[in-house]
Structure 1
Amino acid sequence: MFYMVISVLAGVSIVVARIINAALASRIGTLQSTFFNYITGLTFSFVFLLISREAVNLQPAKFGAIPVWACTGGLLGVIVIILSNFTTPRVPAFYLTLLIFIGQLFAGILIDYFISGDISAGKIIGGILVLAGLTYNLLLDRKRESEMVT
């Protein structure tokens, strides 16, 4: 039960953070809000590291063993935040949450394929069903909007 509550809170925090970031982006600009997003994340990560009292064991000899693609995580994070700040004010929260879910699902399928060489038919079918439901819902919303205008 504890883990379910934590997962729900994590989902809520993602939606709230996206809304706050979009509001900040509209006030000071997308790139500036992304910068402050990362500075805030770095600060809180450092505070939690200090609170946890875990030992940090950085060995420069091991840095060479890190694959180059592993260093792109920060760049991808910046791109995701910029895109999120751009799309959040333009797309309803429900659709944005579903689009992010679908993106994560298909990215997970691709990662599974590249790591294990296995593709889960259930995940693909589930992703397609969610995508089809989202598309159908979007079509219904557009039809309702066009009926309200006329």
Structure 2
Amino acid sequence: MLYIFLAFIGGALVTLASIINSRLGKEIGVIQGTIINYTVGLICILLVCLFNGSLFKISSQGFLDIPLWAYLGGMVGVAVVILSNIVIPKIPVIYSTLLIFIGQIVTGIIVDYIFGNPISKGKFIGCIFIILGLVYNSNIDKKDLSSNRCEDLA
């Protein structure tokens, strides 16, 4: 139960971080906002490591033993923040969150397929339902927006 709660909190924090980062990116620029995001993140994680004692357990040999592909996580993280900073100010947060979620599900299905893991029918069907719901809700929002514009003109 604890891990379910922590996953829920993590998801909420991802959404909040995306909103905060996109507003910062809108204020000072996408790349500059990303630099601020990662600089503050670096300071925070260094403080956490300092206080829990793990900062001094990092060795230069430890960095050399890490496989090269593992460093791609940082580059992917930068791309995520940059893309979020571009997208979130342009579309409502609910749509961007759902689209990010759909991207995660589709990527999970693809990764499962590449590594020979069975693809869950539930994930696939759930992804289809989310996409259909997003399209349906988007059409409703367009109709509401156009009817509000007509009322404003009258």
TM-score norm. by structure 2 comes to 0.83
Post-superposition shift, 1:77?
Answer: 1.2
Post-superposition shift, 1:100?
Answer: 1.2
Which residue in 1 is equivalent to 2:145? 145
Which residue in 2 is equivalent to 1:25? 25
Which residue in 2 is equivalent to 1:10? 10
**Partner AA of 2:64 in structure 1:** F
**Larger mean Cα displacement after TM superposition, 132-141 or 103-112:** 103-112
What 5-or-longer segments of structure 2 have no aligned partner? Answer: none
Post-superposition Cα deviations, 1:80-129, rounded to whole Å, max 9, x if no partner, equal: 11110111111111111111111111112222222344322221111111
Query: Is 1:121 equivalent to 2:134 in the alignment?
Result: no
**Pairing of 1:31-42 with structure 2 (within 5 A):** 31-42=31-42
Q: 1:64 to 1:11 in 2, by over 3 A?
A: closer
Post-superposition Cα deviations, 1:34-93, rounded to whole Å, max 9, x if no partner, equal: 011111111111111222223635463873661x43322222111111110111111111
Post-superposition shift, 1:29?
Answer: 0.8
What 5-or-longer segments of structure 1 have no aligned partner? Answer: none
**Larger mean Cα displacement after TM superposition, 45-54 or 2-11:** 2-11
**Partner AA of 1:93 in structure 2:** V
Post-superposition shift, 1:148?
Answer: 2.1
Q: 1:65 to 1:7 in 2, by over 3 A?
A: closer
Q: 1:116 to 1:44 in 2, by over 3 A?
A: farther
Q: 1:106 to 1:32 in 2, by over 3 A?
A: same
TM-score norm. by structure 1 comes to 0.85
Which residue in 2 is equivalent to 1:56? 57
Percent of pairs identical after alignment?
Answer: 38
**Partner AA of 1:123 in structure 2:** K
**Partner AA of 1:85 in structure 2:** N
Q: 1:78 to 1:61 in 2, by over 3 A?
A: closer
**Pairing of 1:102-121 with structure 2 (within 5 A):** 102-121=102-121
Q: RMSD over aligned Cα, in angstroms?
A: 2.2
Large movers: runs of 4+ above 6 Å: none
Aligned length: 149
